[in-house]
Amino acid sequence: MQNIINGIRRYYPVSDASLALLFSKMKKAELPKKHLLIRGGVIDRHVYFIEKGFARSYCLLDGKELTIWFSREGDITFTMKDLYHNEPGYEYVELLEDSTLYAISIEELNQLYETNIEIANWGRVIHQECLLYMDQHHISRLFLPAKERYLQLVRELPDIIQRAKLIYIASYLGITPQHLSRLRAEKLFF
């Protein structure tokens, strides 16, 4: 579970004892590439920790998939409405690689938030950092040219080019796959 430990401690210095408590509540799942981990409109009362693998979160708009997030080793994935409001979420989460995940029920995670200050602080910090990232991503989609958005994504997730399909990356950036192909052809890497 080293990737998960590193992912948690990237946000907050959770002790070994608190991690052991968190891990004691988790269930391991090994799932294949293309597995739909979470379905929009269906309640899924779990938070998934990714030890190995890569996933994308997306929404459907008029039957079209719009990628809203990528998750990889050390990250967590879930639906926001499930986590925050106990309602079916609108997100779908698809595994893009064979994956090893650890799931914890939202109820058990909330109990840990109430009884363990380190887990509670980690939860607070990871959610505020993700909110800030989402805000910056939204602003960049509104104001930055496509080339700058692409370069920013490659800096933040350098392995994304090998791990995600072009169509998913283009959707995430808010551009067409053809435009992304042209950008990639410019050999923008340093």
Encode pLDDT of 88-143 as tens digits. 999 999 999 999 999 999 999 999 999 999 999 999 999 999 999 989 988 988 89
Using alpha carbons, select from 105, 55, 45 the residue that is nearest to residue 79. Answer: 45
The per-residue pLDDT for 190 is 43
User: How many beta carbons lie within 10 A of that of residue 73, not counting itself?
Assistant: 19
The pair of three-digit structure tokens given for residue 80, joined into one six-digit string: 């926001």
Using alpha carbons, select from 64, 65, 54 the residue that is nearest to residue 95. Answer: 54
- Rounded CA gap, 39 and 37, in Å? 7
The per-residue pLDDT for 189 is 52
Residues 6+ apart with CB under 8 A from 42: 88
Mean pLDDT calculated for residue range 164-169:
96
**CA 173 vs CA 43, 66, 138: distances in Å:** 28, 10, 10
The per-residue pLDDT for 184 is 87
The per-residue pLDDT for 141 is 86
- Rounded CA gap, 7 and 4, in Å? 5
The per-residue pLDDT for 185 is 86
Report the half-sphere exposure of 122 (CA within 13 A, side-chain side).
Answer: 27
